[in-house]
Structure 1
Amino acid sequence: MVVLYDDRPEALTGLKLAALSLRATSPGLDIRAMVPGASDRFRTWATAHGITVMDAPDSLRATGWDVKPTVLMHLLDEGADPVLWFDTDIIATRDIRPLLDPHPGEVLIAAEEYYWGYHQCSPVRTTTLGLEVGRVLPRSINSGVLRVSAVHRPLLEAWAAVLATPEYAAAQDAPIPRRPIAYLGDQEVLGGLLGSSGYSGVPLVQLRRGVDIAQCFGPSGFTVKERWAARRRLPALVHAMGRKPWSRPERGTGGLRRRLGSEWEQLHLDLTPFVSAARPHVADLDEPADWVEPATGVGRLFAHVGSPALREVPLALLDTAQRGVRRALRIRQVPA
């Protein structure tokens, strides 16, 4: 079973794209959508496309990303085993089962965080939680794709317990640079637990960034090297981290810096591989999808580059340079 969850009306475009891509590339998958307060129009759309709409469990108190462990435990309790969580800003470009099926159910499957993710290969998430270090993960966890089975219930319970603490809630109210690294978000907590002595025995496989999943967080999240390797075929999964193409920033407002930032983001959203991956499915969205067309002149020019992975390389090179300089100068953008 694959579960897609979102409680934000503005995110339903992504949920529908994720569902359509899974249905097209992995026929026969049991795809469930959990949308609190789902409208009749959405339910009608889902039924027409073979998607089962589920009600949220009574035990659900969290919102946003923090619902993951609760939703997964609910589905396991209902008899689904294993269950695959699939973020609503991910598109499948081909059958995902070859990435999952070779690994037995006791193996927890997640993804690698994008290249610029902070504190890679570090026990800091575990130590910040006050736990004993049992292993150091070579790559940080990205929980956009997460397969669990019944044997992982103790881990899911521990994860949900941390997400329900006052310390975690207080961290979520703080600006991102001021949050302790382990409380930055739900996946940081999961990574901290998996690195602890209590859960270091949980077998873990991470989908490889740039190979299995394109982590498109800004132009250089999907790195130039990864793009070149994917020039003939995109990874099986394309993840639109950060701002979504269907939710573009306003143009021409604010000061010069804000306007330049908006144009940069517009260009990124014109050329991100996510748009190319989404294009085959937009006709079935039952909503306007003019966001798949470039909004900038430069975007329209580069859209003619044949490979979706290579269209954004000039931006990726510039973004790599500025991120590299900021990292070298230790300009703090994320928690220490």
Structure 2
Amino acid sequence: MATRTLYISLASVLALALIIAGVWWGVRSSSATGNDKPAAATLLDGTQMGVVELLTADLAPMRSYYVDAVGLEVLQESADRLSLGREGTELLSIVHAPERAADSPANAGLYHSALLYPNETSLASVLMNIATTAPQSYSGSADHSVSLAFYFQDPDGNGLELYADTPEDSWEWKNGLVTMGAAPLDPNAFIQKHLGSAAATPASNDSPSMGHVHLRVGDLDQARSFYADTLGFAVTAESEGALFYAAGGYHHHLATNTWGSANAAERPESLGLGSLTIQLTSEAELVAATARLSDAGLEFTQDGGMVTVNDPWGNTVRLLT
């Protein structure tokens, strides 16, 4: 009975969820009715998002949420750092930083990290687990045409998206942009359709990956210059106050918005985002990326196969091979 009560509680915030989804996406990214080719990116097919580092004042509730509710595994653990992932692949690095001030949504920083599940059943399984362990963390859901997405906030208030992609051959492209909407998506109906009443433990091949990372920034033109023109992503969607970027014809690996952070200056040292990682396909691609950074006059550091650079607002980006 307790499980069913918590399960139904997801529906109690569905109305809020739809409002949130509408605000986030605002307008459809294009009016596509065909399947035109996506915009070409400088970054190669196979580029992926990697580990997201979060800074927290208290490791214990973050550990409990991501392990007990979201179902990630502890890969490494010390007094000041927690490495979380699945099947040996790190997805989140949570670092103890009690000296830092709280994050503010008016500043640049993390809007959400997004875990991509390989199928609806594995996504429904983790949703069911969150419904029974941390239903209060749920903040919204939407059918974005290219994906089915559910939104949460972790104990520190960091945004978290859990999603599964729709079939790629159903994505609509026009003039290099993909159509992304924000249609209603009932979490209870989704769980019932893909999981029924039975709880399921995801198999190893059902493990999530870091599908995309969404950032708060101060200006979209500057964001386009850094993430598209310099780093090499293609802009794949545009909506009011937001840009979406990808490599290899994906709908988006990265997004930037100014919905609450327009005109934000360089972010102060705070909790929340420590860094995000972009996994490149080869050493040659890393060399090409560093050349573009140099040509743009940006300062960066290189340590072997890792390049670290800050975007115009101090969001730290790590490029790895």
Higher RCO by CA contacts (8 Å cutoff, separation 6 or greater): 2
Normalising by structure 2, what TM-score? 0.31
Higher strand proportion (structure 1 or 2): 2
Normalising by structure 1, what TM-score? 0.30
Higher helix proportion (structure 1 or 2): 1
